[in-house]
Chain A
Amino acid sequence: MTTDKPIIDEICRLLAPHNPKGIALSAATDIPKELNIDSVGVLDFIMEVEDTFDIEIPMNVVAETHTIGDLVKVVEARIRKA
């Protein structure tokens, strides 16, 4: 499934279940650190991002992706590649 919504909005929507404390999300938010998501949780979340945008984000790339802004750039690049 792809979406016309801005990528950052979609990512924030997908992060909502991982953000029970309702921390304000922005491009600068460090996903694992600020939302306290463990390594497996991050990988599970990335699978949801992959399926939402119908792209592939290899685990090797996830290791270098920390903030929401980093992830937006990865998604943009992967959509262009697809």
Chain B
Amino acid sequence: MTDLFDKHRPIAERFERMMELGVNAVGITNDQLISPTRAMIQGRETILAGTNNYMGITFEKAAIEAGKKALVEFGTGTTGSRIANGSYAMHKELERELAAFLNRKHCIVFTTGYQANLGMISGLAGPRDTVYLDADSHSSIYDGCTLSGAKLVRFRHNDAADLDKRLSRSEGEEGGKLVVLEGIYSMLGDRAPLKDFVELKKKHKFQLLVDEAHSFGVLGPHGRGLADEAGLEAEADFVVGTFSKSIGSIGGFGAGDHPMFETLRYAMRPYMFTASSSPATIATSIAAVKTLAREPERRDALRRNSERLFNGFRNLGFEMGCEDVSPVIAVKCKDEPSTIMMWNALLKAGVYVNIALPPGTPNRLCLLRCSVSAAHTDAEIDQVIATFAKVVAGR
């Protein structure tokens, strides 16, 4: 008998090597949350600089009260999918609020952000279609593509000329074409050059989906993401986003103006065959969307904090993930063992960041990845910089 776990032995061996360094970098426990930017980890008060809590919104009084009220009035869970059990009024209210925020005709919410990409991509593309995806796409995009059964063509990261070449190779083939981009790429923090990609729509007929997971609430004059920042929302046929970052809860959405958009509800398996979001989750998400709309100054604070951390790191001479300043700020490291050791030293010094290693990173990079919050104080950002100076730069 072949043990089904045999195929996972290389993963187990890699994990053991990591543990030989005395570190479980992928399994830390937050024992107590003190604020959106601080937690107790291993008995130490730690600055959180790797949580994607961009708006610092997780302890907002209005959202917590809304969540409590929903819990009491609607119970702990929905116990089924919206197709099988029906929607709660709040699901529809959240979709209306989001559609208004996004200035889109239609919006569908999902139970997680991962499912939003799975659902939207597999709902839009089918076995006779082709999906063109950026090489650095998030795993949820890759998995959504696989679920779709469509032909999958990968193009070089942020390279519109490379996509042009690949679209040309399949010129004249039947079926629809979906191009998938991300507003901010999660590992290096760089933006898609949206204008260059949109330009290709004139030459090759395709529909465009922009995953704004890391840019929703963050970029653009209205906080709607990269397409908003670039003034190209009309060219982004579909947008996807998550609630687990700027919204500070859990869930995701897909939105668009297509007249048949609502049909997707009956064509997306990750929407149809999973339980809908719990009442408390939906209620806190609604409150957070309203906060984002009401308090644009959070975006300004986030931008200032991002610039402060980025410039601080650059002044230390680090090789940065990219030259775009965004709330995702990655420092390139030499190799896997040294990255693990530095990550551990940062944690021991009271700073939590993400560790990102191949194959989860572009170009086999080893990264110490930070995410900035609007709720970080200047002192916290400076503490992160000072700790990196000591641990990573050896000063």
Q: How far is the CB of B12 from chain A (nearest CB, A)?
A: 16
The complex places the Cα of A7 from the Cα of B362 at a distance, in Å, of: 28
Q: In the assembled complex, which residues on chain B have CB atoms less than 8 Å from the CB atom of A60?
A: 151-152
Contact, CB under 8 Å: A44 / B359? no
* Contact assessment for B145 and A47 in the assembled complex, using a CB-CB cutoff below 8 Å: no
Contact B359 A58 (CB under 8 A): no
Query: CA A55 – CA B168 in complex, angstroms?
Result: 11
Do the beta carbons of B152 and A47 come within 8 Å of each other? Answer: no
Return chain B residues, CB-CB under 8 Å to A43: 135, 154
In the complex, the answer to whether B153 meets A41 with C-beta atoms within 8 Å is: no
Complex contact A56–B156 (CB within 8 A):
no
Q: Count the A-B residue pairs with Cβ separation under 8 angstroms: how many? A: 34
The CA of A12 and the CA of B165, in the complex, are separated in Å by 24
Give the distance in Å from the alpha carbon of A54 to the alpha carbon of B145 in the complex: 23
Cα distance, A13 to B103, chains bound together (Å)? 51
* Interface of A (DSSP majority class): helix
Number of interface residues of B (CB under 8 A): 16
A28-65 interface (Cβ within 8 A of B): 38-41, 43-44, 47, 50-51, 54-56, 58-60
Contact of A39 among B156, B165, B359 (CB under 8 A): B359
Smallest distance from the beta carbon of B363 to chain A beta carbons, Å? 8
Report the bound CA distance from A40 to B152 in whole Å.
Answer: 14
B304 in the interface, Cβ–Cβ < 8 Å?
no
CA distance A54 to B168 in the complex (A): 11
Let me know if B358 and A40 touch, CB within 8 A. yes
Q: Determine if B69 is an interface residue (Cβ-Cβ < 8 Å).
A: no
A40 to B364, CA, bound (A): 9
**Is B154's CB under 8 angstroms from A59's CB?**
yes
Q: Is the CB of A59 within 8 A of B153?
A: yes
Which residues of B does A touch, CB under 8 Å? 130, 135, 145, 151-154, 156, 165-166, 169-170, 358-359, 362, 364
